[in-house]
A = this chain, B = another copy of it.
Amino acid sequence: MLPEIHIIGLTGIPEIAEGAKLGDLISAEIKKQDLPLNERDILVVTQKVVSKAEGRIINLKEIEPSHMAIQLASEYKKDPRLVEVVLRESKRIVRMDRGVIISETHHGFICANAGVDSSNNTDIEKVSLLPKNPDVSANNIRQSIHMELGVEVGIIISDTFGRPWREGATNVAIGVSGINPLKDYRGQSDLVGYSLKTTTIAIGDELAAAAELVMAKLDRVPVAVIKGYHYNSGDTGINSLVRNPDRDLFR
């Protein structure tokens, strides 16, 4: 038997309002669509619906930009209120150049605009922020699905990040529950006394990337179900994918 993985996009989930129980809505839709969900299947859920459910939406009308935000916005021809939100969501500015702000979020993620997203909102004055604690968000969804459908699944919360050196963004994991997002092959290839290649694979990010292939238009397919992938259970959370500053050559 050849190894095989299936990735299924879950359509039909209604528009998410603040306070919505996302895990319950996903479970209901899985039942309604008769999608068989098995133990150790993986659900990848986009950040956007998680942020909506958790009320992580900011109305720019309520934002008073700081002096720094006004100055930057004028330089970059951006909305100063938006720049203010980006600064508030940032722990540290990594690069600020050519109209782009790359910063480190309070979670430790390094991405453009601290993950603040103005796209795909019906109201152009509203922007979405990353969930406060995406591992908790993932865990809540996992618990709901276990309650509603009786199966233990792995959950990944995903977002789309750019990266240095390569064009185009890719989906990455920003929260996990029930899965160890790193797979370690070290020792298997260490024939010359040291590894030339990194042999730890960020399977959390690869699963998120794979899910994006069925999500495409983000708002209409906010959940993907991945079947057939053998992962290690674990509750290390997303921190195991965030590189320690001491090990990072590109701070």
Contacts and interface: CB of A to CB of B under 8 A. Distances in A.
A182 B168 contact: yes
B197 A2 contact: no
Interface residues of A, number: 85
A98 B9 CA distance: 42
Contacts of A143: none
Interface in A194-210: 194-207, 209-210
A200 B162 CA distance: 9
Contacts of A206: 170-171, 209-210, 212-213
A2 B124 CA distance: 30
Interface in A1-27: 2-11
Interface string A79-107: 10010000000000001011010100000
A200 B5 contact: no
Copies of this chain, whole number:
2
Contacts of A116: 196
Given A3-B11, A8-B4, A213-B229, A199 B166 contact: no
Contacts of A119: 189-191, 195-197, 199
Contact of A112 (B9, B168, B197, B229): B197
Contacts of A112: 196-198
Interface string A133-171: 000000000000000000000000000101111111111
Interface string A28-67: 0000010100000000000000000000000000000000
A167 B121 contact: no
Interface of A: 2-11, 33, 35, 77-79, 82, 95, 97-98, 100, 102, 109-110, 112-113, 116-121, 124, 127, 160, 162-172, 181-183, 185, 188-192, 194-207, 209-210, 212-214, 216-217, 221, 229, 240-243, 247-250
